[in-house]
Amino acid sequence: MPIQRLPVLDKETMKDLDSTIRMLQGRLLRPELLQGAAYSVPRSEGLVKLDSMENPYDLPDEMRWKWLESLSEAKLNRYPDAHPDLLLEQIKLHGDIPPEMGLVLGNGSDELIQILVAAVAGTGKPILAAEPSFTMYRLLAGHLGLPFVGVPLDSDLRLDRTAFIEAMKNCSPSIVFLDWPNNPSGRLFPAEDLEAIIEAAPGLVVVDEAYHAFSQQTFASRLGQYPNLLLLRTLSKEGLAGLRLGFLAGPRVWTEQLDKLRLPYNINILTQQSALFFLRHPEVLAQQAAQIREQRDWLYGKMLELGIRVWSSQANFLLFCLPGKAATVDSGLRKKKILIKSFTGHPRLSDHLRVSIGTRQENEAFLAALESLL
């Protein structure tokens, strides 16, 4: 076949440029990428931000100054520490990870999901997760050219263990992701169900404990008990979303392989030093997490009193259903300067909304606004 040469374009005719590039993309890029959408983040300036599970509390002034002081010696002219042993040790201590396990650090746990999926890309075997569950599993499988199988939760958003195991038998996934608690339902599926799934899985099972600070449950002590179990955590939801630090824990024989896909120096020096500081001073964030859990249970009770169908949650958010009204309530809240997450257009959750737990004041403002819109 003759080499197809690309035309050299006249700089004035920009429209030719775009259409020529599109033709080239059609030849070069994977169709999943061309058809797929980017992860979209709404603008939130000036809004009460209750859409993305952040910790709503500021740091106490004294702590903020100590933290800044701890950064003052960071050597920005040097590459970050490629062997941050102290940080790894603190992460294991803080996370109750058995000391003999290995760790891979990620620029957020999103990056670790990407590394996991990249590790099996090319095998053609699917990635499997519950439907609904965290969007990035599906998104990253698509980006890396792998099929994604979503196993529906039941009508009450419980895990259907039998269906899940059946689906694994049918499609032999290379990786099963289980967000525990589940995002967006906030449900903490029974640990026995997870164990049965881990035992029946033909490949890896990654238990994603992004909301560990609010569920206070973990599979950490089970690491090493199963050859196919890995654990994913992040500092994002407990109060350090801006740092971008997640970690994957599991037997070293696994982490050594996955670490090959990590870009060198992926954790910058400011993140490393800040994480070390906060892991050494865990009281403030732990206390804030306790406040968030208390606020979650308070808001849950109040929403039930309003007659709303709301799921009891072990995370820092609440999923609720407003049949026929979700879209108007969402835009009504937006007009009142409150941003939450809407699932309009979602195949399973079209009448559902998800609110992250804010400060007492924010939660009260949300509740009052919601009540006025019902």
Toward ligand PLP, which CB reaches closer, 134 or 148? 134
Residues 210-239 that bind ligand PLP (CB under 6 A): 210, 234, 236
Q: Considering the complex, what minimum distance in angstroms separates the CB of residue 305 from ligand PLP?
A: 28
DSSP 226: B
Which long-range CB contacts under 8 A does 78-87 form with residues at least 24 apart? 78/269, 79/264, 79/265, 80/265, 80/267, 80/268, 80/269, 80/272, 81/269, 81/272, 82/264, 82/265, 84/267, 84/272, 86/276, 87/272, 87/275, 87/276, 87/279
Residues 122-151 touching ligand PLP, rule: CB under 6 A, are 134
Q: How far is the CB of 106 from ligand PLP (least distance, A)?
A: 7
Query: Which helix or strand (DSSP H or E) is residue 103 part of?
Result: strand 102-106
Distance of alpha carbon 243 from alpha carbon 39, whole angstroms: 19
Per CB under 6 A, contacts with ligand PLP among 278-297 are none
Q: Which is nearer to ligand PLP, 180 or 365 (CB)?
A: 180
* 316 is a site residue for ligand PLP (CB under 6 A): no
Count the helices and strands in the chain (H runs, E runs): 14, 13
Our CB check for ligand PLP shows the closer of 48 and 210 to be: 210
Q: Among residue numbers 77 through 96, which ones bind ligand PLP (CB under 6 A)? A: none
Name the helix (H) or strand (E) containing 150: strand 148-152
311 contacts ligand PLP (rule: CB under 6 A): no
Nearer to ligand PLP, 128 or 210 (CB): 210
SS3 content of the chain, % helix, strand, coil (to 5): 45, 15, 40
Q: Which of 51, 54, 208, 238 binds ligand PLP (CB under 6 A)?
A: 208
For residues 211 and 181, the answer to whether their CB atoms sit within 8 Å is yes
CB of 272 to ligand PLP, least distance (A): 15
What is the closest distance, in whole angstroms, from the C-beta atom of residue 206 to ligand PLP in the complex?
A: 10
CB of residue 373 vs ligand PLP: minimum separation in angstroms?
A: 26
CA distances from 147 to 120, 138, 173, 193 (A): 11, 9, 9, 24
Q: In this complex, which beta carbon is closest to ligand PLP, that of residue 296 or of residue 369?
A: 296
Interaction between residue 108 and ligand PLP (CB under 6 A): yes
Q: What is the DSSP letter of 91?
A: H
The smaller minimum CB distance to ligand PLP, of residues 185 and 273, is found at 185
Stretch that binds ligand PLP, among 3-11, 108-116, 254-262, 280-288 (CB under 6 A): 108-116
Residue 358 makes contact with ligand PLP by CB under 6 A: no
Taking CB under 6 A as the criterion, the residue among 132, 186, 246, 250 binding ligand PLP is 246
The residue with its CB nearest to ligand PLP is 108
Task: Using CB under 6 A, pick the residue from 51, 54, 179, 362 that binds ligand PLP.
Answer: 179
CA pair distance 297, 87, nearest whole angstrom: 33
Q: How many residues bind ligand PLP (CB under 6 A)?
A: 12
Binding of residue 183 to ligand PLP (CB under 6 A): yes
Record the tokens describing residue 6, joined without a space: 């690309």
When asked if residue 110 is in the footprint of ligand PLP (CB under 6 A), the reply is yes
Cis preceding linkage at 181, omega within 30:
yes
Q: How far is CA 152 from CA 9, 31, 158, 308, 355, in A?
A: 50, 26, 9, 23, 22
Spatial separation of the C-alpha atoms in residues 362 and 358, rounded to whole Å? 5
Residue 28 region, left (φ>0) first, then alpha (ψ -120 to 50), else beta? alpha
Which residues of this chain interact with ligand PLP, rule CB under 6 A? 108-110, 134, 179, 183, 208, 210, 234, 236, 241, 246
